[in-house]
């Protein structure tokens, strides 16, 4: 219990947030309580991360009666643990999206995903969310010569679509990034960074302000059809609603049969140093852009609002084992920034994000008025916020064919039970390939 499960069944209490930098420096969550009385609402939303809270805001603004129920607290899941890099686009490149989804649908989705950061920064502005937003672009450097070709192609594809992106001058990269380790980079100026937990708590406050109700420490235990309605049972209250949105991300458990098997829940770690000295603060990312590099096992880094170096990544490890992830990010830190001397690490935490086999997010409606969306493949700040809006549109009657995302059939990943061990092997293999590529670069 704890890392993977928001609710401790034995002690009948919610799991607490991990000891993350964000938990330390974020403004408090708005006051909320657990549900103790039965209620009849229009829509029950299960899960108070970006997906659920964005859906709640968009529906409550249209005067729909909403109850959000969250097993732990707003932002307990990936939304309160992530790197805070607000990145446009999908995990796969525009031309691949068009190949998979066809010209018309593909073009719509590419445009939607490219504009998704606008929604994040608009909500922050509209509701005055105190989450240290900075919109100064996102840099993706290439760690190997092989990956340089990939990022050049990605940059070209977005340029052809009119996006404000460009390749950076290679000679200037050590100055821009604070490390000499990269062979090329592009910048996407639609992107930026935030404090992710503060953003999530701000969305919760915004949802309350526009009329939604949020119940925390309230796990949904069962979901049952009741004529044309839905019943959602929690330990001390029964909710009845016309619609249910399941917004439980990679922490979906077995509430909706089969949903868990549509994704691989991958563990990602984040580390943060003690506050940096003046020399490092002036030399590492002086432009303060967030960075995720391109290699098979990417390393991400940024400077936090309180002046620390924060890095993220994953490694070959299945199940709840996290030490290997922490050690591998520390190694990446030494490799990139060792020239400043030993890094003084202060925080390590981790969380799960939802990976799909086609690298696209999915929207499901397995029964009438039962909706869910997940699978942002590590791009969830902007995309989950945008998915919440799409879910709200569907509840308000937009026909499936008019939604930006198709409604997919809830199909399990074949041999899903094999994924934790096979993922560990695959990730280990990717690490080896990265080392070979680097040696050849
Ligand atoms: C370490 C890490 C770093 C990342 N970095 C980035 C980044 O820099 N940029 C980026 O764009 N994306 C990043 N991501 C991905 C991004 O955080 C996620 O895609 C996004 O937060 C998913 O939001 P969500 O609302 O769908 O799910 P979550 O935020 O996971 O929320 C799901 C919620 O559902 C609740 N829940 C589950 N079951 C129940 C139940 N039965 N009853 C009630 N509540 C329930 C959980 O408690 C949880 O709060 C990262 C993810 C991780 C883990």
- What gap in Å lies between CA 54 and CA 391, rounded to an integer? 9
Q: Is the pLDDT of residue 391 over 70?
A: yes
Q: Are residues 21 and 156 in the same domain?
A: no
Residues 294 and 172 in one domain: yes
Average pLDDT, stretch 8-14? 91
In a domain, 241, yes or no: yes
The verdict on 163 and 177 lying in the same domain is yes
Give the number of other Cβ atoms within 10 Å of residue 45's Cβ: 34
Average pLDDT of the residues in 243-259: 96
Counting residues of the chain whose pLDDT is more than 90, the rounded percentage is 85
Question: Do 250 and 363 sit in the same domain of this protein?
Answer: yes
Separation between Cα atoms, residue 236 and residue 167, nearest integer Å: 56
Phi then psi for residue 225, to 5 deg, are: -80, 140
Q: Which atom of ligand 1 is nearest to the CA of 73?
A: 49
Residue 140 lies in a domain: no
Q: Give the pLDDT confidence score for residue 319 in this predicted structure.
A: 57
pLDDT at residue 321 greater than cutoff 70: no
Same domain, 181 and 215: no
**Contacts of residue 61, Cβ cutoff 8 Å, sequence gap at least 6:** 210
Judged by DSSP in three states, 240 sits in strand
The confidence score (pLDDT) of residue 317 equals 57
Q: At 185, which CATH number?
A: 3.30.9.10
Q: Which atom of ligand 1 is nearest to the CA of 74?
A: 49
Q: Could you tell me where the beta strands, DSSP code E, fall in 182-290?
A: 184-188, 192-193, 213-215, 222-226, 229-233, 238-246, 264-273
Q: Is the pLDDT of residue 2 over 80?
A: no
- Other beta carbons less than 10 A from residue 33's beta carbon: 11
Among 264, 251, 249, 267, smallest CA distance to 349 is for 267
Q: What is the pLDDT of residue 394?
A: 98
Q: Which residues line ligand 1 (CB under 6 A)?
A: 6, 46-52, 69-72, 76-79, 81-85, 87, 219-220, 247-251, 253, 255, 268, 270, 312, 350-353, 374, 376, 378-382, 384
Ligand 1 closest atom vs CA 83: 8
Residues 340 and 441 in one domain: yes
Structural domain range at position 277: 148-189+264-355+413-441
20 and 164: one domain? Answer: no
Within a domain: residue 93?
Answer: no
Residue 90 within a domain: no
pLDDT in tens, 144-170: 988 899 999 999 999 999 999 999 999
> Sorting pLDDT into bands at 50, 70 and 90, what band is 436?
confident
User: Residue 181: inside a domain, yes or no?
Assistant: yes
In a domain, 137, yes or no: no
Rounded Cα–Cα distance for residues 429 and 414 (Å): 21
Minimal-distance CA residue to ligand 1 atom 25: 49
Cβ atoms within 10 A of the Cβ of 350, count?
A: 22
Supply the pLDDT for residue 129: 98
Same domain, 426 and 343: yes
Q: Is the pLDDT of residue 365 over 80?
A: yes
Average pLDDT over residues 23-42: 98
pLDDT tens per residue across span 74-122: 999 999 999 999 999 999 999 999 999 999 999 999 999 999 999 999 9
Nearest atom, ligand 1, residue 72 CA: 47
Segment 394-433, tens digit of pLDDT? 999 999 999 999 999 898 887 787 776 677 777 777 778 8
Cβ count near 167 (within 10 Å): 15
Q: For residues 395 and 368, is the Cβ–Cβ distance under 8 A?
A: no
Residue with tokens 């970006």: 50
In a domain, 228, yes or no: yes
> CB-based contacts of 301: which residues, under 8 Å, 6+ apart?
285, 290, 291, 309, 310, 311, 312, 333, 336
User: Quick one: which of 279, 276, 277, 320 has its CA closest to 301?
Assistant: 276
Residue 223 has pLDDT above 90, yes or no: yes
Q: Mean pLDDT across the chain, nearest whole number?
A: 94
How many beta carbons lie within 10 A of that of residue 31, not counting itself?
Answer: 9
- 385 and 253 co-located in one domain: yes
More confident residue, 414 or 335: 335
Q: Are residues 15 and 73 in the same domain?
A: yes
Query: Domain tally for the chain?
Result: 2
pLDDT at 416: 80
Burial 374-401 (b: 16+ CB within 10 A, else e): bbbbbbbbbbbbbbbbbbbbbbeeeeee
Which residue has the least CA distance to atom 18 on ligand 1? 380
pLDDT for residue 11 is more than 60? yes
DSSP lists the bridge partners of residue 285 as none
Same domain flag for 396 and 441: no
CATH number at 235 reads 3.50.50.60
Residues 339 and 367 in one domain: no
Which pLDDT does position 414 carry in this prediction?
78
- How far apart CA 65 and CA 43 sit, in angstroms, is 6
Three-point CA angle 101, 105, 111, nearest 5°: 110
Between 261 and 426, where is the model more confident?
261
First to last CA, the chain: 43
CA of 270 to the centre of ligand 1 (A): 14
């Amino acid at each position: 219990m704890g890392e993977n499960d928001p609710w401790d069944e034995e002690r009948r209490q919610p799991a607490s947030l991990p000891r993350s930098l964000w938990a330390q420096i974020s403004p408090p969550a708005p006051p909320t309580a657990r549900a103790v009385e039965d209620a009849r609402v229009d829509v029950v939303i299960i899960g108070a991360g970006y997906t659920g809270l964005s859906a709640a805001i968009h529906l409550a603004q249209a005067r729909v009666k909403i109850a959000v129920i969250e097993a732990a607290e707003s932002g307990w899941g990936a939304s309160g643990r992530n790197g805070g890099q607000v990145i446009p686009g999908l995990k796969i490149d525009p031309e691949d999206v068009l190949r998979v989804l066809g010209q018309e649908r593909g073009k719509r989705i590419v445009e939607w995903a490219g504009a998704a950061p606008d929604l994040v920064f608009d909500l922050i502005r509209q509701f005055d969310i105190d989450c240290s937003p900075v919109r100064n672009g996102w840099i993706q450097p290439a760690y190997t010569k092989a990956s340089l070709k990939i990022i050049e192609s990605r940059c070209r594809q977005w340029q052809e679509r009119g996006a404000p992106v460009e390749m950076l001058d290679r000679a200037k990269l050590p100055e821009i990034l604070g490390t000499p380790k990269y062979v090329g980079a592009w910048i996407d100026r639609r992107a930026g960074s935030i404090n992710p937990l503060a953003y999530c708590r701000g969305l919760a406050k915004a949802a309350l302000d526009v009329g939604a109700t949020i119940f925390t420490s309230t796990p949904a235990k069962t979901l049952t059809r009741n004529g044309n309605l839905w019943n959602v049972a929690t330990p001390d209250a029964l909710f009845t609603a016309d619609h249910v949105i399941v917004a439980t991300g990679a922490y979906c458990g077995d509430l909706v049969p089969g949903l868990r098997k549509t994704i691989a829940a991958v563990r990602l770690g984040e580390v943060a140093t003690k506050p940096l000295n003046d020399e490092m603060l002036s030399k590492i990312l002086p432009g303060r852009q967030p960075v995720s590099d391109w290699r098979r096992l990417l390393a991400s880094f940024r400077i936090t609002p309180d002046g620390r170096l924060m890095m993220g990544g994953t490694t070959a490890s299945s199940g709840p084992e996290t030490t290997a992830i922490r050690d591998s990010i520390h190694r990446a830190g030494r490799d990139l920034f060792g020239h400043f001397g030993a890094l003084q690490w202060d925080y390590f935490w981790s969380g799960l994000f939802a990976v799909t086999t086609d690298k696209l997010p999915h929207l499901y409606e397995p029964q009438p008025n039962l909706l869910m969306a997940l699978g942002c493949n590590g791009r969830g700040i902007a995309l989950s916020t945008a998915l919440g809006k799409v879910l709200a549109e569907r509840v308000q009657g937009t026909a499936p064919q008019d939604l930006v995302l198709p409604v997919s059939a809830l199909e399990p990943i074949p041999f899903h039970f094999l994924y934790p061990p096979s993922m560990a092997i695959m990730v280990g293999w990717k690490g080896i390939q990265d080392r070979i590529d680097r040696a050849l670069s």
